[in-house]
Structure 1
Amino acid sequence: MEERFLGEVVLPGVAQSVAVARHCVGAMLAAAGHRVVEDVRLIVSELITNALIHTASGLHGGVVTVEVVAVDAEIVRVEVTDDGADTVPRARVSGGDDCHGRGLWLVEQVSLRWGVRLLGAGQRAVWAETFTGQAAPGCAGEGVTVGAAYTGHEVRG
């Protein structure tokens, strides 16, 4: 099976977009027949939260883009594109009393692999691939469109 684009959602760089993205990605995966989606939803939460905290996406007018691709019937890649920063995301070990700093460590724990792609115009994409279980038979159609909760934000499928 070759990779199959499942969908994309573009959201404003605000905290509420984390929940919207989790919902949209869950709907995309369900429509494509993927059954084990909680790890993907966790990855989406962590990658978007990092983008909002550490990049220009969290500034006024910033956006985050989430793209979902079925690598095969059992593996999905989620990619979050942000508006860029001067740093490169990396997993780190947090102290027991630290309130932050575990996001990429969690992504590393639940994903098969993850990485960062530097894009033009200062943007970057942080991606992760994870197991979602066997897709249900007959779900080999093209990408699905999922409506965003915010009017006027692009959603492609």
Structure 2
Amino acid sequence: MTAAQEETGPDPVLHEDRLDYTPTARSVTLCRRRAARLVAEWGHPHLADEASLLVSELATNALLHGCMRGRLFRVRLTLTPAVLRVEVSDPRGERLPGPRAPGADDCYGRGLIVVARLADRWGVEPRTVGKTVFAELTVR
């Protein structure tokens, strides 16, 4: 059983996409657009904007806090009959994310607040090297 199946239950994975990106701002744009396109192609255009925003926030966090020079980050999408799961993995397992209370004038610090409000479930999973931050949307 894959990690996605363990997290989402016994539902079979209908679609899966996994791609590694260089740790640059351009990659966040590319993975956000790819996620929106794939989710729509997989028959859930009503989830494309949410998936795109989740990928964008998680990939931005990976870029800012989890990436290391010369190491890629990975975006993985899985769709089961019940759940669309967005995962972003990076090589920095010692830097665990958590929502924080940004100041009114802070330009950053709201990404995980957005993820927590948008996703039906989110969390962090350790990897042999690094971590995976995931967010799940219930398929309606």
Higher alpha-carbon Rg: 1
Distance 2:122 2:62 in 1: 15
Q: Which has the higher helix share?
A: 2
CA RMSD, aligned part only? 1.6
1:128 has 2:135 as partner: yes
AA aligned to 1:124 is: K
Give the 3-state SS of the residue equivalent to 2:45 in structure 1.
coil
For 1:1-157, list aligned pairs within 5 A: 1-36=11-46, 37-55=48-66, 57=67, 59-73=68-82, 75-121=83-129, 123-131=130-138, 133=140
- What is the TM-score with the length of structure 2 in the denominator? 0.84
Runs of 4+ in 1 over 2 A off after TM superposition: 1-6
AA aligned to 2:49 is: E
Aligned residues between the structures:
129
AA aligned to 2:30 is: V
Distance 1:97 1:85 in 2: 29
AA aligned to 2:79 is: A
Kindly, what percent of the aligned residue pairs are identical? 33
Give the 3-state SS of the residue equivalent to 1:120 in structure 2.
coil
Higher relative contact order (CA 8 A, sep 6+): 1
AA aligned to 1:67 is: R
Q: Which runs of 5+ in 2 are unaligned?
A: 1-10
Deviation at 1:11, TM superposition (A): 0.8
Q: Is the 8 A contact 1:6 1:29 kept in 2?
A: no
- What is the TM-score with the length of structure 1 in the denominator? 0.76
Q: Which runs of 5+ in 1 are unaligned?
A: 134-157
